[in-house]
Amino acid sequence: MNQPIEIRSGVELPAVREDITLHTEDGLTLVGELALPVGQEPVATLVTLHPLPTHGGFMDSHILRKASNRLPQLANIAVLRFNTRGTESPRGKSEGVFGEGVTERHDLEAAMKFVAERGLPNPWLVGWSFGTEVALKYGVDQPVRGAILLSPPLHRATDEDLARWVTSDKTLVALVPEHDDYLQPDAAKQRFALIPHAEIIGVDGAKHLWVGEAATTRVLNEIVRQVAPSSYPLPAVWISEES
**pLDDT band at residue 243 using 50, 70 and 90 as cut-offs:** very low
**Tens digit of pLDDT for each residue in 200-228?**
999 999 999 999 999 999 999 999 999 99
Long-range own/partner contacts, residues 12-17 (CB < 8 A, 24 or more apart): 12/69, 13/69, 13/70, 13/72, 13/73, 13/74, 13/238, 14/38, 14/72, 14/73, 14/240, 15/68, 15/69, 15/72, 15/73, 16/72, 17/68
**Tens digit of pLDDT for each residue in 70-112?**
999 999 999 999 999 999 999 999 999 999 999 999 999 999 9
Average pLDDT over residues 154-180: 98
Per the CATH hierarchy, to which homologous superfamily does domain 5-231 belong?
Answer: Alpha/Beta hydrolase fold, catalytic domain (3.40.50.1820)
**Tens digit of pLDDT for each residue in 20-71?**
999 999 999 999 999 999 999 999 999 999 999 999 999 999 999 999 999 9
Is 1's pLDDT higher than 60?
Answer: no
pTM over 0.95: yes
Domain definitions of the chain by residue range: 5-231
